[in-house]
Amino acid sequence: MFVARRSAIRERARRPTDAELDGIPWLPALVGEARERALDALQVGEAEAGDYVCRFGRPVTFWFGLVDGLLKMTNDDSSGPAITFTGVAPGGWFGEGTVLKHEQYRYNIQALRRSLIAGLPVDTFDWLLDHSIGFNRFVMHQLNERLGQFIAAREVDRLTSPDLRVARNLAALFHPLLSPNVGGILRITQQELAYLVGLSRQRVNEALRTLQARGWIRIEYGGLRVLDLQALRAGELD
């Protein structure tokens, strides 16, 4: 199990490369001064496994996105058992609701493996909202999809079938808007998936074998390939 520790991401921050900028899904929506401001303000930094990107109760300073790696979003576990809300896969940006309200985080975001994090300062985020229709549209769609994701997560909590819990969590990681850079294959270990789903690695392995037998996924070296995303989202197991 990874060790939870304070992050030194900002100490390792740098300007993104052109290839890293190409992986930021909302940049193509910006033109002119809006794009220039975003490019000047964007930073990237490496998070080690166990590093916190966001901490419960801390004031928001950046809007964050995942360039590469894997993150999990959990509640504050200081007064009870930890609950994992969702995973964050490459291309996903998160915390826009907290940034919009300029409030403290009500959740933790933690790296499950070495991950590359991008950050846009809050003041630049605010400026883009005031001046860029394209940016506003992206954030609006993001919020709408995030709401649907959390409604689905509440439904997953009520599922008694571990196989379906794994299926629904995988579907969330392959979301075309919230995780646009995953593509057809997700690089994830069974232990990492177990952290996200809240099951043992052995039980996750059984579930994946069941989903593969159904033709919904294919287990490949170092990851999973989705063959039927709709079935993962809404399929039933007899």
Q: In this structure, what are the phi and psi dihedrals at residue 177, rounded to the nearest 5 degrees?
A: -95, -45
Closest CA to 37 of 124, 134, 150, 157: 124
Check pLDDT > 80 for residue 238. no
Summarised one tens digit per residue, pLDDT across range 115-154 is 999 999 999 999 999 999 999 999 999 998 887 776 666 6
**pTM for the whole structure:** 0.84
Domains of the chain: 10-152 (2.60.120.10), 162-234 (1.10.10.10)
Summarised one tens digit per residue, pLDDT across range 85-110 is 788 999 999 999 999 999 999 889 99
Whole-number pLDDT of residue 165: 87
Average pLDDT over residues 197-214: 93
Check pLDDT > 80 for residue 18. yes
Tokens of 84: 């994992």
Whole-number pLDDT of residue 2: 47
Closest CA to 181 of 115, 108, 107: 115
Higher pLDDT, 17 or 185: 17
Summarised one tens digit per residue, pLDDT across range 44-74 is 999 999 999 999 999 999 999 999 999 998 8
- % of the chain surpassing 90 pLDDT: 62
Tokens of 189: 């270990």
Check pLDDT > 90 for residue 235. no
DSSP string, 93-154: EE-HHHHHHT-B-SSEEEESSSEEEEEEEHHHHHHHHHH-HHHHHHHHHHHHHHHHHHHHHH
Summarised one tens digit per residue, pLDDT across range 115-124 is 999 999 999 9
Check pLDDT > 80 for residue 214. yes
- The radius of gyration of the chain's CA atoms, rounded to the nearest angstrom, is 18
Residue corresponding to tokens 């059984």: 206
Check pLDDT > 50 for residue 213. yes
Following CA atoms 190, 143, 128, 33 in sequence, which dihedral angle do they give, to the nearest 10 degrees? 70
Closest CA to 236 of 178, 160, 174, 185: 160
